[in-house]
Amino acid sequence: MDFTISSLDRSLENTIQHKINLKTKPVGSLGKLEKIALQIGLIQHKTNPTLKQPTILVFAGDHGIAEKGEVNPYPQIVTQQMVYNFLSGGAAINSFCNRNKIHLKIIDAGVNHNFGNQSDLIDAKIGYGTKNYETEPAMSIDQCKTAIKKGANIVSETHNNGCNVIGFGEMGIGNSSAAALLMSHFTAIPITECVGAGTGAQGDAIKTKKRVLKTVFEKHHPNSPLEALATFGGFEIAMITGAILKAAELKMTILIDGFIVTAALLAANTINNNVIDYCIFAHSSEEQGHQKILNFLEKTPLVTLGMRLGEGTGAAVAYPILESAVAFLNNMASFEEAEVTTKD
């Protein structure tokens, strides 16, 4: 839990903004790309930042509450099946990472399955799924601390391999419930307004999901961000919280994905509110709670594509926008270089 995260060093802000304004374009005409270029420049403390070894880490974990199937349309076994799908290259995140030249790593944070020896799977298993928070906290405080540490260590290794831009994804049947509980805890938005469709709950199924999660929310009274993560979280969510905190400490650019990753960010941001300076919000998930968290954080996402898949797919799809931002900052000519007349 010891992370040293500095707030963004803004001493180069005027220099970078001036460089952006001198490019051969009307002032401000590259819109949000200009803001991203500035943010990445400030994160790297450089007027000519570069994106190196872009990587997405997908953390997978199971959830005790999902065994009954009351809050999740798909059965728990899909978590392990999708991990095999990631490993054989067949999931959406594989397609997008291949397309956009992003390194992809899959982590077993706590799936209810023994994967044996899988060369491409990082084994960070905390347990075979969390406990059901209808009756007891999802995990112990010690397990939660271990998950945060493991997430942080995986980011450190990735950084040591030369990565300076990172996104996180997750896979865990039932984790939209954990995310809704965490969201309500950290934003004080009533739990029923945080609950959404997840993988596709509709009609009576949504009513049941809201009723069950309201009872869960009212049963527990966590007293710290760590206790909240342990009570409502998943192993993959706690690991992402640690991963975000470490990535900010290492001054990496962090691409935030959808509802579940943003719930992990809420925990990280409560632990240390400097983390948000390092985050770029990739997309607005169709999951209704995600839009409310973005409003709560006063952040505008890069794209809205009606996606609600998770896996880090929003981050993977939005990554080329960061490449475009850095490319114009580094490669575009200034008015003087191109001998273009500027306005009076």
Q: Which residues contact ligand NCN by CB under 6 A?
A: 72-74, 170-177, 198-199, 257-260, 285, 287, 290, 308-311
DSSP secondary structure of 105-147: EEEEEE-SS---S-TTEEE----SSPPPTTTS-SS-HHHHHHH
CB-nearer residue toward ligand NCN: 34 or 257: 257
Closest CA to 201 of 69, 312, 65, 64: 69
- Distance (Å, whole) CA 5 – CA 103: 25
Give the contacts of 69 (CB within 8 A, at least 6 positions apart).
75, 76
Q: How many residues are given for the chain? A: 344
- Which of ligand NCN, ligand DMD, none sits in contact with 287, Cβ below 5 to 8 A by type? ligand NCN
Stretch touching ligand DMD by CB under 6 A, among 35-43, 57-65, 307-315, 331-339: 307-315
Window 126-185: residues binding ligand DMD (CB under 6 A): 171
Smallest gap from residue 313 Cβ to ligand DMD (A):
8
CB-nearer residue toward ligand DMD: 92 or 230: 92
- Distance (Å, whole) CA 311 – CA 205: 23
Active-site hit among 311, 323, 337, 339:
311
CB-side exposure of 148: number of CA atoms within 13 Å? Answer: 25
Q: Write each residue from 74 to 103 as x if it is in contact with ligand DMD (CB under 6 A), else as -, in one continuous string.
A: x---x---x---------------------
Tell me if 62 contacts ligand DMD by CB under 6 A: no
Q: Is 286 a catalytic residue?
A: no
Stretch touching ligand DMD by CB under 6 A, among 50-58, 152-160, 309-317, 325-333: 309-317
Smallest gap from residue 96 Cβ to ligand NCN (A):
14
Closest CA to 216 of 238, 242, 194, 241: 194
CB atoms inside a 10 Å sphere around CB 300: 12
Smallest gap from residue 288 Cβ to ligand NCN (A):
10
- Distance (Å, whole) CA 23 – CA 98: 32
Beta bridge partners of 122: 107
Tell me if 317 contacts ligand DMD by CB under 6 A: no
- Which of ligand NCN, ligand DMD, none sits in contact with 108, Cβ below 5 to 8 A by type? none
| Residue position matching structure tokens 């996402």 | 301
Smallest gap from residue 18 Cβ to ligand DMD (A):
43
Smallest gap from residue 148 Cβ to ligand NCN (A):
20
User: Which of the residues are catalytic?
Assistant: 311
